[in-house]
Amino acid sequence: MGGNGDGSKSHGNVMFLICGEALFDVYVGEATSTGVMLDARIGGSPYNVAMGLSRMGRTAGLLTGNAQDSLGARLMKAATEEGMDTRFLRPKPALTTLALIGVAPSGAAQYSFYSEGSVDWAITEADLPRLDDIKAVHVGSYSLVLEPSGSSFLTLARQARGTQLVSLDPNIRLGVVPDRARWQERIGDFLRCADLVKVSDEDLAVLCPGKGVETAARDWLAIGPKLVVVTLGAEGALAVSDSHMVRVPGKAVRVEDTVGAGDTFQAALLTALDEMGHASPSAIAELSAETISRALVFAVEASAITCQRRGADLPHRHLLPALL
């Protein structure tokens, strides 16, 4: 692999490499005389995590396919404007995914994906960068079960294991890949590489049906991760390590919608661990209960801000509390 897919060597001070899809969230609005109003916004769980890290003062790059059309150009421009490292956006002769979003009265998002054969599928091992200047690799969402992207990201996670912090968020999207057994198999592969896992209680129920949250989290811990964090919606979050189990409450807010809330939690969790000096495989294994609690409270606070905004509009660092 030895480079960025274009023969060049990675350089600079990239700390977090986020792997997965970038797409457009398309909100379905009011009916018009000839159709419906649509509001298209840049999104995708991995894109949101990279954007969130950048807004929170981290250096982040996004490894994903980039369509050579107007939507791909807009994604590139937005990534640049957000201060993300764009060297890992790989030009691909395919279309950008669209995710149609309907919002329930509760604020919960309902997704319909138009992604077959899109750039999300197109990352190959030739696109993988060297990891020389990368501190952490985060993988997540439905790109993990698309091919060849999923196998390529798994190769990268295996290369990073033990040297770089490897973070995982399954972010299940059965609307893209409805085969639950396929998700279970692939997430199992990534669990063997991951140091840190963040998963929603809803996703955990899909992957581990019939098991309680604590039992499922401890079962995952036994596979390889050193810390498993489960987000519980309005109820807050739970974290399990070999030595500790920590719960923190949610924060009551007026919810506009929940789009990007989990991605915000992920970005804030990584930011908190990094600011406190724990963004490494060895440090994750030694976290105290107090440190875990601080990180969770910080992430809950960040998610609450996003829930009060429309779409995945993640907060900047100055809006969040001090950690140290």
Query: Using CA atoms in the order 313, 319, 320, 323, what is the torsion angle rounded to 10 degrees?
Result: 140
3-state SS, residue 304: helix
Reduced to 3 states (helix: H, G, I; strand: E, B; else coil), residue 276 is coil
pLDDT at residue 181 is higher than 90: yes
What mean pLDDT is predicted for residues 60-69? 96
At 192 the three-state DSSP class reads: coil
pLDDT surpassing 90 at residue 14: no
How much is the pLDDT for 60? 97
Is residue 234 predicted with pLDDT exceeding 70? yes
pLDDT-based confidence at residue 123 (cuts at 50, 70, 90) = very high
- pLDDT reported for residue 9: 32
Burial level of 88, CB count in 10 A (0-12/13-18/19+)? buried
- Which residue type occupies 294? R
Close Cβ partners of 185 (under 8 Å, ≥ 6 residues apart): none
* Dihedral angle sign, alpha carbons of residues 320, 57, 283, 158: positive
Q: How far apart are CA 235 and CA 4, in angstroms?
A: 42
The Cα–Cα gap between 271 and 55 comes to 10
Q: Which band of pLDDT confidence, cut at 50, 70 and 90, is reported for residue 319?
A: very high
**In the prediction, which pLDDT does 2 show?**
36
Q: Which residues contact 160 (CB under 8 A, 6 or more apart)?
A: 131, 134, 137, 166, 193
Positive or negative, the Cα torsion across 280, 283, 288, 290? negative
Question: Which of the four pLDDT bands, split at 50, 70 and 90, describes residue 311?
Answer: confident
Average pLDDT for residues 11-24, to the nearest whole number?
Answer: 86
pTM of the entire structure? Answer: 0.93
Mean pLDDT of 183-205: 98
Q: Report the residue count for the chain.
A: 324
Q: 316 vs 15, 23, 142, 301, 302, CA distance in Å?
A: 18, 21, 26, 12, 9
**pLDDT tier, 109 (very low <50, low <70, confident <90, very high otherwise):** confident
Q: In this structure, which topology does domain 16-315 adopt according to CATH?
A: UDP-N-acetylmuramoyl-L-alanine:D-glutamate ligase (3.40.1190)
**How far is it between the farthest Cα atoms of the chain?**
61
pLDDT over threshold 70, residue 243: yes
d(CA 167, CA 270): 9
pLDDT at 13: 66
Does 148 sit behind a cis peptide bond, omega within 30 degrees of 0 on the bond before it?
Answer: yes
- What are the sequence ranges of the domains in the chain? 16-315
pLDDT of 6 > 50? The answer is no
Structure token pair of residue 297: 């409270």
pLDDT at 49 over 90: yes
- Confidence band (pLDDT; 50, 70, 90) for 7? very low
Q: pLDDT tens for residues 139-168?
A: 999 999 999 999 999 999 999 999 999 999
Comparing 302 with 29, the larger pLDDT belongs to: 302
Average pLDDT over residues 214-224: 97
Q: Considering the chain, what is the average pLDDT of its residues? A: 93
**What DSSP state is assigned to residue 164?**
S
pLDDT for 270-303, tens place per residue? 999 999 999 999 999 999 999 999 999 999 999 9
Which among 282, 265, 309, 270 has a CA at the least distance from the CA of 18?
Answer: 270
Contact 171, 190 (CB under 8 A): no
What whole-number distance in Å separates Cα of residue 281 and Cα of residue 166? 8
pLDDT, position 5: 40
